[in-house]
């Protein structure tokens, strides 16, 4: 941190949406999954979060666990209410043989039948109070299942890029220079067209005795492709136009930098634009390495096989050592 930037050819950009005050930043700017490393305060807890966005974006196992927990808790609450007003108000429960535990379990399963509007008929409310609670529970059940149905549809219909990024960014020789490369591919059976990539470098530098963060747009060798059918290696040449050109190898290793990649494309199945982003800190950059092939021809020669688990596979190579000891 605090390196003096020496390349006058590259202009920094200010429209990134991030702060240029290094002392106010906490760790990396963008998480590996593309989310911002940000926590908002100053408003009540429930106003800081959108429940819909949380339920739409959470992993499937968490979503199912949340729905199941909600279903169980609602039934427990109504079962307690039935026990409080008296299980004798539920016809079909043998009160004379019921203890607290068996009475609660009978009320719980009656609640489950009422909430889902199944109504087997084995147990039925017979008093005014029990009928009022059962009617209220039926209403809650209708609203709950309508909400869950909407969330399920939203999760299935929500456009996602389903892109896999290489775990590391590589510094590797390319066309007479060293370059920074990452590799991406879609890992599901979706097909993206008109795919565009943008790369931004966040660099902590020392300017007039103060540590600040400056942002530089990295020129990409190819910034747009017609189709992401296989994998795509995104290349930034560290040439005279690069903000990294005037940094030595040791400077680059010791720099507090972050490479932010933003990818967007058109998904033919969703008929919509999808996007995804990620970032690499200096610890996630491998020097003197190049990607190994991730696809090959099938044994019968009729198709191409893309090995998604090898998107980030690399091998060691020698990088250029210029007289000025550039990276």
Query: Which residue in the block uniquely carries the two structure tokens 């106003």?
Result: 47
User: What band does 325 get if pLDDT is binned at 50, 70 and 90?
Assistant: very low
- 3-class secondary structure, 236: strand
Query: Can you tell me the distance from the alpha carbon of 320 to that of 284, in angstroms, rounded to the nearest whole number?
Result: 20
In the predicted model, is pLDDT for residue 24 greater than 70? no
User: What band does 8 get if pLDDT is binned at 50, 70 and 90?
Assistant: very low
- C-beta of residue 215 within 8 angstroms of C-beta of residue 201: yes
Query: Can you tell me the distance from the alpha carbon of 39 to that of 278, in angstroms, rounded to the nearest whole number?
Result: 18
- C-beta of residue 220 within 8 angstroms of C-beta of residue 236: yes
Give the H or E element holding residue 124. Answer: strand 124-125
Query: Rg for the chain (alpha carbons), in Å?
Result: 29
Give the tens place of pLDDT for each residue, 184-243.
999 998 889 999 999 999 887 766 777 778 888 999 999 999 999 899 999 999 998 898
Q: Which domains can be identified in the chain, with CATH numbers?
A: 22-38+160-316 (2.60.40.1400), 51-157 (1.10.287.70)
- C-beta of residue 179 within 8 angstroms of C-beta of residue 236: yes
Instruction: Kindly list the distances between the CA atom of residue 48 and the CA atoms of 59, 155, 291, in Å, as whole numbers in the listed order.
Output: 20, 21, 42
Q: What is the mean pLDDT of residues 139-165?
A: 91
DSSP letter at 283 equals G
Give the tens place of pLDDT for each residue, 302-318.
999 999 999 999 999 98
Neighbours of 48 (CB within 10 A): 11
Please indicate whether residue 322 or residue 54 has the higher confidence score (pLDDT). Answer: 54
């Amino acid at each position: 941190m605090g390196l003096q930037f020496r390349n006058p050819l590259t202009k920094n950009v200010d429209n990134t949406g991030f702060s240029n005050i290094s002392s106010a930043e906490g760790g990396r700017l963008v998480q590996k999954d593309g989310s911002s490393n940000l926590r908002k305060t100053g408003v009540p807890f429930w106003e800081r979060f959108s429940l819909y966005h949380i339920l739409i974006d959470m992993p499937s196992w968490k979503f199912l666990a949340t729905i199941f927990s909600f279903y169980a808790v609602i039934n427990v609450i109504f079962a307690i209410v039935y026990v409080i007003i008296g299980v004798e108000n539920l016809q079909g429960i043998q009160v004379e043989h019921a203890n607290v535990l068996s009475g609660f379990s009978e009320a719980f399963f009656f609640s489950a039948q009422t909430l889902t509007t199944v109504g087997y008929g084995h147990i039925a409310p017979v008093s005014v109070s029990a009928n009022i609670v059962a009617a209220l529970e039926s209403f809650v059940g209708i609203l709950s299942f309508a909400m869950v149905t909407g969330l399920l549809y939203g999760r299935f219909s929500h456009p996602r890029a389903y892109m896999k990024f290489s775990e590391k960014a590589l510094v590797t020789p390319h066309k007479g220079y060293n370059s920074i490369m990452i590799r991406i591919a879609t890992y599901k059976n979706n097909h993206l067209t008109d795919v565009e990539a943008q790369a931004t470098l966040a660099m902590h530098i020392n300017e007039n005795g103060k540590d600040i963060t400056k942002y530089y747009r990295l020129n990409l060798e190819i910034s747009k492709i017609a189709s992401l059918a296989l994998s795509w290696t995104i290349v930034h040449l560290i040439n005279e136009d690069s903000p990294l050109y005037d940094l030595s190898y040791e400077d680059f290793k010791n720099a507090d930098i972050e490479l932010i990649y933003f990818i967007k494309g058109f998904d033919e199945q969703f008929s919509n634009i999808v996007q995804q982003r990620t970032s690499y800190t200096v610890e996630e950059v491998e020097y003197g390495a190049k990607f190994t092939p991730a696809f090959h021809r099938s044994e019968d020669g009729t198709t191409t096989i893309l090995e998604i688990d090898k998107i980030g596979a690399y091998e060691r190579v020698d990088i250029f050592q210029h007289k000025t000891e550039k990276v």
